[in-house]
């Protein structure tokens, strides 16, 4: 633990959550309060080396790994990580993955084949350490932290695992709880995945202190021409309904201004999601924070030429975002994140995100 993290904790136990700035993708580390054991969730293509450097410098190599689904912006970075762990003879207690059952051809298509091969070598044939990322698995308790899979279930995987268009909605959804504090990591679920999630769990099971907003702020439509949209027999839950059920104090968006050289490819977060988060956190929560600034944040961000046209100059916003969660439900930014974020927001021309409550409190 670095000295600033220790000082921020004030001697009390806290759960630390780190959202890595990996561009358009996801990579999250959860650090337990007492033994400082690391749970690593997803890793974007190309971000493995930087993630390893950060873990070794500030935290620890991972003890538990979750792979939410097989898309390259969530799995491909694990190839470098697993290879390094093998070289270091590092013991990983358990790996949860929900790409089991997908063909090698599909894994290659999405950039996960190398990670799968390294995973086999890492576990050295010990199948007991490889578990399915699904609700049928019992909650895993690690150093007073409860890791609970909320989605998908065995039926969903068996029924839809060969449908390419269902890969996002079949993402593993993880809830991490420590006392009255919790974080929900929903992968890339969209309307169908959200409807399954809301039908299975009570509001108390979904409410969280901290939410990684699904699918990088893509959002989804639940109605068309005033009629509910259904998919595979399920009426889609709206993005607003999902946000109200989670009721987060803080929301985090893992986005990239580059998106392989062209921000226009995805434009995440989408404007309706940006507006929804702004409205929600103005009324109920503390605020929302993005790993990077994009033209969604400010139309005045500088642009630079690229091989595919013009894109925003990469501007870290929250950057590597760190939160500290206490037993009593208190959630606060790590001092380094707060300092860097405030500086970044002040440097963005005409920022569109709401002024966070913590900024307002600091000025009083």
| Structure-block tokens of residue 108 | 């290659």
Helix (H) or strand (E) holding 271: helix 271-283
206: Cβ contacts below 8 Å, ≥ 6 apart? 150, 175, 184, 197, 198, 245, 246
Quote the pLDDT of residue 41.
98
Quote the pLDDT of residue 310.
39
| CB-based contact 147:37 (threshold 8 Å) | no
In CATH, which of 3.80.30.20, 3.20.20.70, 3.60.15.10, 3.90.550.10 is domain 12-363?
A: 3.60.15.10
3-state secondary structure of 46: coil
Q: Distance between CA atoms of 316 and 341, rounded to whole angstroms?
A: 8
Task: Look up the pTM and report it.
Answer: 0.90
Concatenated DSSP letters of 227-267: EE-EETTEEPPPHHHHHHHH--SEEEE---S-TTT-GGGT-
Which of 194, 176, 198, 196 is closest to 185 using CA atoms?
A: 176
Instruction: Give the count of beta carbons closer than 10 Å to the beta carbon of residue 159.
Output: 14
Give the bridge partners for 131, in sequence order. 96
Q: Distance between CA atoms of 131 and 137, rounded to whole angstroms?
A: 8
What is the mean pLDDT of each successive set of 10 residues along the chain, which is 364 residues long?
56 92 92 97 93 95 95 91 96 86 54 81 88 91 97 89 84 97 97 95 94 95 89 91 96 77 73 92 88 76 45 60 96 89 75 65 53
Quote the pLDDT of residue 311.
40
């Amino acid at each position: 633990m670095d000295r600033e993290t220790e000082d921020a904790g004030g001697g009390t136990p806290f759960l630390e959550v780190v959202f890595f700035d990996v561009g358009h993708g996801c990579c999250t580390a959860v650090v337990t309060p007492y033994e400082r054991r690391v749970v690593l969730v997803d890793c974007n293509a190309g971000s493995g080396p930087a993630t390893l450097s950060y873990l070794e410098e500030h935290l620890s190599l991972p003890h538990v790994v979750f792979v939410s689904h097989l898309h390259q912006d969530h799995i491909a970075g694990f190839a470098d990580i697993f290879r390094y762990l093998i070289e270091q003879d590092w013991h990983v207690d358990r790996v949860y993955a929900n790409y089991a059952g997908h063909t090698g051809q599909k894994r290659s298509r999405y950039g996960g084949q190398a990670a799968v091969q390294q995973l086999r070598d890492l576990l050295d044939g010990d199948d007991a350490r490889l578990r399915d990322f699904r609700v049928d698995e019992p909650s895993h308790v690690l150093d007073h932290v409860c890791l609970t899979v909320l989605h998908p279930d065995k039926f969903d995987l068996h029924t839809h695992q060969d449908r390419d268009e269902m890969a996002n909605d079949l993402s593993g959804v993880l809830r991490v709880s420590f006392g009255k504090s919790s974080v929900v990591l929903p992968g890339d679920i969209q309307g169908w995945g959200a409807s399954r999630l809301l039908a299975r769990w009570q509001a108390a099971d979904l409410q969280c202190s901290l939410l990684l907003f699904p699918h990088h702020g893509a959002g989804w439509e639940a109605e068309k021409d005033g009629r509910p949209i259904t998919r595979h027999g399920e009426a889609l839950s709206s993005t607003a309904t999902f946000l109200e059920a989670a009721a987060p104090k803080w929301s985090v968006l893992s986005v990239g201004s580059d998106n392989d050289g062209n921000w226009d490819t995805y434009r995440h977060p989408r404007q309706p999601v940006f507006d929804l988060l702004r409205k929600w956190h103005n009324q109920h929560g503390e605020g929302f924070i993005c790993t990077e600034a994009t033209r969604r944040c400010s139309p005045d961000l500088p642009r630079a030429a690229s091989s595919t046209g013009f894109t925003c100059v990469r501007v870290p916003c929250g950057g590597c975002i760190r939160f500290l969660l206490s037993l009593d439900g208190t959630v606060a930014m790590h001092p380094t994140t707060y300092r860097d974020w405030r500086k970044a927001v002040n440097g963005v021309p005409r920022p569109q995100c709401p002024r966070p409550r913590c900024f307002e409190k600091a000025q009083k």
